[in-house]
Amino acid sequence: MIEKIKVYGKQKANGKVHISGAKNAALPLLAAALLSSDGMRLKNVPPLTDVTTMLALLENLGITYQVFKDSHYANSIKLKTDALENFTAPYEIVKKMRASALVLGPLLSRLGRCRVSLPGGCAIGVRPIDLHLKGMEALGATIELRDGYVHASAPEGLRGAEFTFPIVTVTGTENVVMAAVLANGTTVLKNAAREPEVVDLANCLNKMGANISGHGTETVVIHGVTSLRSTEHTVVPDRIEAGTYAIAAGITNGRIDLLGGDFRKLLPSFLDKMELAGLSFSSIDNGLRVESSGKILPIDVDTEPFPGYPTDLQAQCMAMLCLADGKSNIRENIWENRFMHVAELMRMGADISVAGTHAQVRGVKHLTAAPVMATDLRASFSLILAALAADGDTVIDRVYHLDRGYCCVKEKFADCGIAIERIK
């Protein structure tokens, strides 16, 4: 398996990037197909290993599918869902990806029972699914944890209820929303996640015949219906990919046109911070142009749920701030173990100190190539960004993380005049 990337230093990005569909939207949308026996067709699905893992899980449950290549960066997937027979999501598949837990709500809602392995994925924190389970219990499910599996049952069906999430959880909100759409009565979810991917899921479910309102706000109301129908839905653009390539323009003193969506609406806090850091943004047809001012300015960043600064763009931002003219502060408020990329950036000459959830980044004049190792999905791209601006050529190991959330990186960089190479 090819697990390394060689990045040639001191490159400048100048070109355009076609932003793919959002992984974090595609995965819950694929899980939502379980809610109907009539099937579904999803468009703008990114060709990623996490999508392949979710499809393998659905296939294990009895779903069949066809993949159609619409472009180099996007697929359409047609799902046939009438023969849902299995109610077990096995450890062998679920261990590869935490988002596998998203089948819990749909299986419980449609079949009245499920057996789902406790999930795996990136090692950026505990990320328990206890809030998912508490939400299911509020809807009348019986939950038991046994032998590494969640055993959930609702033989008489789920019933509407009011539930308040003690903290904002994106996948928890999505899971409970999917469980509630076929419940008997009305469900009110408070302190719900407001992320665009949650909104995209609710919009798709409504097209299938669900009755959901308030998505995109802190209070989501779901009036249960008896069944859902087939639909065709286009996955929302990946705001995290767009933000990542925007940072690529900043750290290389370049210019990139981000094509494929209204990124001002998808990344409000991120764009505000990047403008303070010296990037400029202008609207273009079907996208946004990002351009460096030639100087990276220090900023303070606090990660927060949407519409705040995304935790999934924290590592990439840190890489850029390593070259800022001054001292920056980053506070990670979402995951408790998301500074593992710091040690790798320091191997390249970065000056960073960490105290708990706070990182202080003191800008240096230059970074230097060094062998480094990716520790999780977003950290893998932060090392690529740092390497693009470094003196010398950098080899990044364990980049299988990258393929979970970024497709066609080599090709997309080539469209910006940047060369990276996959090596063994």
356 — alpha (psi -120 to 50), left (phi > 0) or beta? left
- Burial bucket for residue 16 (CB in 10 Å: 0-12, 13-18, 19+): middle
- The three-state DSSP-derived secondary structure of 254-274 is CEEEEECCCHHHHCHHHHHHH
**Parallel, antiparallel, or unpaired for β 393-397 and 4-8?**
antiparallel
- Give the type of residue at 216: G
Q: Distance between CA 393 and CA 372 in Å, rounded?
A: 11
Coil, strand or helix: which one is 152?
strand
Q: CB 283: neighbour CB atoms within 10 A?
A: 11
Cα 121 → chain centroid: 12
Q: Distance between CA 70 and CA 48 in Å, rounded?
A: 14
Which DSSP state fits 95? Answer: T
Q: Distance between CA 246 and CA 242 in Å, rounded?
A: 6
Closest CA to 174 of 159, 193, 158: 193
Q: Distance between CA 104 and CA 31 in Å, rounded?
A: 9
Q: CB 217: neighbour CB atoms within 10 A?
A: 11
Q: Distance between CA 64 and CA 400 in Å, rounded?
A: 26
Q: Distance between CA 232 and CA 33 in Å, rounded?
A: 11
Residue 347 contacts residue 367 (beta carbons within 8 Å): no
- Please provide the DSSP assignment of 155-192 as one string: TT--B--EEE-SS--HHHHHHHHHHHTTSBSEEEEES-
**Preceding omega of 307 cis (within 30 degrees of 0):** yes
Taking 3-state DSSP, the helix, strand and coil percentages for the chain, each rounded to the nearest 5, stand at 35, 30, 35
Place of tokens 């999780």: 376
Positions marked active-site:
122
- Please provide the DSSP assignment of 321-346 as one string: HTTSSSEEEEE--S-TT--THHHHHH
Strand-pairing partners, residue 14, are 255
